[in-house]
Structure 1
Amino acid sequence: MPRSTSTSSDLNDARDALAGRLRELRRAAGLTGLQLATSLSWQPSKVSKIEHSKQTPSDDDIRAWCRAAGAEQEIDGLLVALHTLETRHAEWQRQFRAGVATVQTQTARREESTELLRIFEPTFVPGLLQTPEYARYRFAEVTHKFGHRQDVDAAVAERMRRQEILYRPGKRFHMVVTEAVLHYALCPLEVMLGQVDRMISLSMLPSVRLGIIPFETRYTIAPTHGFWIHDADLVQVETFSAGLNLAQPGEVELYTKVFESLALDADYDRKARTLLTRTVEAIANRLDTEGDESEQS
């Protein structure tokens, strides 16, 4: 099963567990759903929706529920479970209403507190390595997907500001990408030419270890999706609809093992730069060929 699917299942299980615990507290208090709703001046349907994971309770809902059930001692633990659930699943549609630049600022704060950031990307150039031109196409895609008008200029500027952390003493970045990242047609060729050239330059920074997994590699673990590991505390995964923040020790351990396996498949240093240089030459040749064909026509 793809990891993104099992992660979604884990989140549903967490929601069901919270709902189940609230149902247990109601039953232990000898209350029917109608009696609980009446005591809290709620619609009866609200109790049913919460107990069947159709509605996520608020902090105040949990406090009121526990007091009505005579289980005040359960409040703190249930609030922790609720907040963990909210943190694990952050919907892009909601986040992007504040603007993609705001999301970049929030990402920068998390990176500021991270000493070792491990990144795996099978599709995109990691944001910390992107040129302004490449980043602009990535943010334009957000506008296309969600339909929100975005201040792309502000978002690009914030992403470029984030990259200052690459030069910060005490920070370490281990990034692994597939060779496919260098060839996907996600932007014009001239933009990709500058992007690959920038990757060559940044790969020489002492804080950056850049690995590239060649096309011909036989994978031990399939490169299913991208992810970021912040120290040994947090894993971030992006899906089309949401960003997942995984902090359970077992989850972090699993993703760490996956990263280590993928990292072993990658080429580094001179081999990686040779591959990048070869890609620059291939793109330049394609641009020359297209230019010649345009002149002839």
Structure 2
Amino acid sequence: MAISSSSSVQRARQALADRLTELCRGAGLTGVELAERCGWHPSKSSRIMNARTSPSPDDVRAWCRACGADDQAEDLIASLRAAEGMWIGWRRMERTGLKQAQQARLPLFERTRHFRAYSSWLMPGLIQTQRYTEAVLRAVQRRRVEVDDVAEAVAARLERQRVIHRGGRRFAFLVEESVLRNGIGGREVLDEQLAHLLAVGSLPSVSLGVVPMRADRSRMPVEGFWIFDMAQVNVELVSGYLTITQPSEIAMYADTFTELANLAVYGTNARALITTARDSLR
């Protein structure tokens, strides 16, 4: 990507900082004067105005009060919460367990009509088998979640998978060939998953592409991502869950998906790679 995957978050924070700066200047105040009115250290207002520090809701209320703009506080707090919601660390998202994190995404899947998913390390969640999902979520739970609600989380993800069989939706899945050989859960689980992949790939609403392993590719693998219509992109990173809504960045991910899709094989050729991966398990 030409810009970092967190640039949408930074843009949102900068936009809030710019609005607060405008309020300060509109009130005829310097940053130091505003800090004095709020009872802050002089450097705090500067850090907020330059988007180096994210204000709290109470900070925003104090800022608006100092500028004589109490009527704008709630709108600015809404912008603050929207910016914070773009990036959620796994610890925060999964503090009560995995089930809630799975259920929270259901409305997004239900309202989306065109799904595009690229995965460079695991099968996309919508086309995972129950045992594969259980292996994935169990690994997640062991690594970073104290609450063990894996069984409930698996059920929630399987419930979400029902959208793939509903009408009026299109699905395009791209996986790297290495995903076909990533044996999380063991050989039997992977073999079952690959058989399921062959079945899913035959659905009329589904386009399934496999990007072959080769030494002379023109486009390197990137982080896995989902595109929901052209309204939102979600990226799962090591440290957290990123939501992108900036149109220019969504377009970048859409272009990247197209580039990777052009490298992929489909139909008979994709099934041949899947079948070869299954044969290797035996």
Instruction: Report the CA distance shift for 1:190/1:111 in structure 2 as closer, same or farther (over 3 A).
Output: same
Q: Which of 222, 236, 244 is residue 224 of structure 1 equivalent to?
A: 222
Deviates more, 1:245-254 or 1:209-218: 209-218
Q: d(CA) in 1 for partners of 2:34 and 2:100?
A: 41
Instruction: Give the equivalent residue in structure 2 for 1:26.
Output: 24
Are the counterparts in 2 of residues 117 and 231 from structure 1 also a CA contact under 8 Å? Answer: yes
Q: Which residue of structure 1 aligns with residue 121 of structure 2?
A: 123
Query: 2-side partners of 1:236 and 1:245: how far apart?
Result: 5
* Matches of 1:272 and 1:137, distance apart in 2: 25
**2:275 corresponding residue in structure 1:** 277
Aligned-pair CA distance for 1:247: 0.8
The within-5 A match list for 1:173-192 is: 173-192=171-190
Distance 2:41 2:55 in 1: 14
Q: Tell me the amino acid that sits aligned with residue 208 of structure 1.
A: V
- AA in 1 matched with 2:127: L
Amino acid at match of 2:198: I
Stretches of structure 1 lacking an aligned partner (at least 5 in a row): 285-297
Question: What secondary structure does 1:98 align onto?
Answer: coil
TM-score by length of 1: 0.84
The residue aligned with 1:139 is 137
Equivalent residues in 2 for 1:41-120, closer than 5 Å: 42-44=39-41, 47=45, 50-51=48-49, 53=51, 55-71=53-69, 75=73, 78-79=76-77, 81-120=79-118
The residue aligned with 1:233 is 231
Q: Are the counterparts in 2 of residues 37 and 47 from structure 1 also a CA contact under 8 Å?
A: yes
Residues 217, 125 of structure 1: alpha-carbon distance in 2 compared, 3 angstrom cutoff: farther
TM-score of the pair, normalised by structure 2: 0.88
Return the alpha-carbon distance in structure 1 between the equivalents of residues 56 and 8 of structure 2. Answer: 21
Shift of residue 36, structure 1, vs aligned partner = 3.5
Partners in 1 of 2:12 and 2:231 — Cα distance?
A: 19
Match of 1:164 in 2: 162
Any idea what the Cα deviations from partners look like across 1:76-108, whole Å, max 9, x if unmatched?
764454233122212211010122111111122
8 Å CA contact retained: 2:8, 2:249: no
Give the share of equivalent positions with the same residue, in percent.
Answer: 37
Deviation per CA, 1:6-52, whole angstroms, max 9, x where unpaired?
A: 12355345435533553454355344656535544x55376466446
Cα 1:171–1:81 shift into 2, 3 Å: same
Q: State the aligned residue count.
A: 281
CA RMSD of aligned residues (A): 2.6
Q: For 2:34, what is the secondary structure of its paired residue? A: helix
